[in-house]
Structure 1
């Protein structure tokens, strides 16, 4: 059995967060169960982009503060690192409020700017992963609970994609991002390279709608914690009301026999699930209807079966972030406007995820529109 602690923290008041964290960790045996004196402990938050904490794009700094405190109390040496999706590491750390907390709490910021080649554990034979991620004595995963237009939810397992350094993320999106099942397998194989010792989820204010960068903050008032990241994801999705058929990572974990996917083998402690569930959690835009469709038809009807990103000229400042974020380089600027090559576009929505102005919309293909009307 796996244990996932669920505790209530209604707001980011430092004392309230600290008390909820203490209760959650006590249910798991305390931080001493996961950290030994003198160990270098890498804390890996979500540092997607340089956004203010109230935008709910990144892990909130008060959650980070509470974890650093517990690591130091257990005698560990806290390090805080990630590789942002867009922007420099220091800039993201400052804007998100995490750099200030790291300085105040006596921790150390560690940028993921050096990669180490390691053999893969399955389909992907080689991966380049951040050196600090591999070399730390302990790893604490500190994700934000958010929706994700490609994978439906980003939480514990998806947060570990940040172990891939900088521009290499685009290469993996290009290699695996056109197929959600394949990308889910990639995420799980990254997870298996170095499973976190502990995962703690910032669900105090989550993100719903068109996450992970352009959704809306949604108060949930929750802290989740557990030793198995897949099991933590399963409980997080349950509390947000996300149906299993939309959870690509969890479905892939079941198919591959990766421990943690079976809800019947997960015990929750602390707040009862019925008291923690959030009603009407708004999911991301349905971007395809390819379930169960033969491959040869998917390829022929792809333009009609999927949604695609579209520019909003009124909000676009032509900053170039979407051009840099696009793995297949399907975006260009012509006559002062964005232009998309939809034959090259792989529908990964990295452009929407990393647009600093939220100025990219979504347009459904004809068959996708018809299916939505039929379901209504």
Structure 2
């Protein structure tokens, strides 16, 4: 059995969080089970973009503080690192409040700037991952529970995509991002190259709606932990109330036969995850109903069966973050406005995810709009 601990924690007060993390880890054997004296322990939070902690875009700094202190108590040497979707890791850590915690606790910030090639044996034969991610003695994964416009949910496995350095993320979106199942396969193959020793999920305040960067904070009031990321993601999805058929990563993990992907082998230590929330998290905008169509129809009807990004009136400040972040270079500034090449657009929605002004919305293709209106699906 793969055990996943679940602990109710009401807020991000410093002592509340410290005590909550200690209670969370106790039934798993405590931090001492995962960290030995002298080991260099990489703590990998979610540093998606430079937003304040209350926006629920990044892992909360008080959870990071509590985990750093537990690592130090076990005799480990805490390192903190990630590669954000846009901008420098240091700037995101400062804006989110995490850098202050790193400095106050004496932990070391290790920016993900140098990539190391790693051979893989699945569909994708090689990844280039951050050196600190590969060289640390232990890896603690610290994701934020959020909805996700491409994968429906982002949690433990998806958070590890931050091990891909900087602009290389765009290359992976271009290579695999046009197909959600293929992108899920890629994420799981990356996960298998270095599985975290421990996963601790920040779900005290989660994100719902158009996550991972443009959704709304939602009080959930729990932390989750376990050493199998796939199993922890399964329990997190139950907390969030997300239907299994919408969980592309979970479906891919079952297809691959990965440990923790069978619900019957996952045991929850703590409250019933199905009863944490009175209502499920609000899901992202349905952006695609072309799955199951043959390839030649997908190509011909792609614009009609999918949503496409466009500018929300009066919000765009022409900062060009989306232009730089777009994997297929389908966005440009021309004539004082953003212009999209929808034939090149792969619908990864990185532009919406990383826009600092929430200036991009989605417009449904007419067949997608018609199917939503009629309540039908493919």
Q: TM-score, normalised by structure 1?
A: 0.99
Structure 1 match to 2:201: 201
Q: Deviations over 1:271-300 (max 9, x none)?
A: 222442351310000011023222211111
Cα offset, 1:61, TM superposition: 0.1
Stretches of structure 2 that go unaligned for 5 or more consecutive residues are: none
Q: How does 1:1-376 map to 2 (within 5 A)?
A: 1-375=1-375
Structure 1 residues 275 and 20, CA gap change in structure 2 (3 angstroms): farther
In 2, Cα distance between equivalents of 1:225 and 1:342: 41
Q: Deviations over 1:68-88 (max 9, x none)?
A: 010000000000000010111
Larger mean CA deviation between 274-283 and 294-303 belongs to 274-283
Structure 1 residues 149 and 100, CA gap change in structure 2 (3 angstroms): same
Structure 1 residues 170 and 278, CA gap change in structure 2 (3 angstroms): farther
In 2, Cα distance between equivalents of 1:337 and 1:131: 39
In 2, Cα distance between equivalents of 1:106 and 1:262: 40
Question: Is this contact kept in 2: 1:121–1:192, CA < 8 A?
Answer: no
Q: TM-score, normalised by structure 2?
A: 0.98
Q: Deviations over 1:354-374 (max 9, x none)?
A: 000000000000110111111
Q: Deviations over 1:118-150 (max 9, x none)?
A: 101311101100000000000000000001101
SS in 2 for 1:201: strand
Where in structure 1 do 4 or more consecutive aligned residues deviate above 3 Å?
none
In 1, Cα distance between equivalents of 2:80 and 2:154: 20
Q: Deviations over 1:303-324 (max 9, x none)?
A: 0000111112410000000001
Q: Deviations over 1:246-279 (max 9, x none)?
A: 1011100001111111111110012222442351
Larger mean CA deviation between 130-139 and 238-247 belongs to 238-247
In 2, Cα distance between equivalents of 1:372 and 1:291: 15
Q: Deviations over 1:323-351 (max 9, x none)?
A: 01100000011110000000000000000
Structure 1 residues 124 and 274, CA gap change in structure 2 (3 angstroms): closer
SS in 2 for 1:111: coil
CA RMSD of aligned residues (A): 0.9
Question: Is this contact kept in 2: 1:139–1:196, CA < 8 A?
Answer: yes
In 2, Cα distance between equivalents of 1:136 and 1:280: 37
Stretches of structure 1 that go unaligned for 5 or more consecutive residues are: none
Question: Is this contact kept in 1: 2:214–2:352, CA < 8 A?
Answer: yes
